[in-house]
Amino acid sequence: MPLLEKAGADSFHVTLANHSKLEDTIPMKTHDYFADEGCFLKYCDEVKKYTDKPICGVGGLTTPEFIEKQLESGRIQCAAMSRQLLADANWVNKVISGDKDKIKYCIRCNKKCLYALQQHREFGCIFDN
């Protein structure tokens, strides 16, 4: 990390990339190893050992309670939630207004996001807003 910081990095977005098997990079809820919410946060824990810069975590982040716990503990300073925000673009507003019970949660099926991209079809979510 010191070399990256010397080069100007002021934060780190920590994720996993396996371009030969995209299901590992964008894992489904049924993935053998990456099924849990926050499935890539263990990599944030490793990066944190080498830097004091802010860390953005990713990996099946969906529930406000889980994400808030990660932020409050200092494990991450930012949460990336691409598929969750496709499932419910109003997630943030619903959390702020106390309407958490109205959130459409990403079920991590990858049907209209990852698979649609791979097949050059319309991109979105099965829960189209």
Q: What is the CATH number of the domain that holds 109?
A: 3.40.50
Does residue 32 lie within any of the structural domains?
A: yes
Instruction: State pTM to two decimals.
Output: 0.87
Taking a C-beta distance cutoff of 8 angstroms, is the pair 78, 55 a contact?
A: yes
* pLDDT at site 103: 96
* pLDDT at site 114: 80
Does residue 125 lie within any of the structural domains?
A: no
51-55, 103-107, 114-118: the lowest-pLDDT one: 114-118
* pLDDT at site 129: 53
* One-letter amino acid of 32: D
* pLDDT at site 90: 96
Q: Per-residue pLDDT averaged across 15-24, rounded? A: 74
Domain total of the chain? 1
* pLDDT mean across residues, the chain: 90
Q: Alpha-carbon distance 30 to 8, whole Å?
A: 38
Does residue 102 lie within any of the structural domains?
A: yes
Give residue-wise pLDDT tens across range 68-86: 999 999 999 999 999 999 9
Does residue 126 lie within any of the structural domains?
A: no
Does residue 76 lie within any of the structural domains?
A: yes
- Domain hosting 22: range is 2-118
Does residue 123 lie within any of the structural domains?
A: no
Does residue 124 lie within any of the structural domains?
A: no
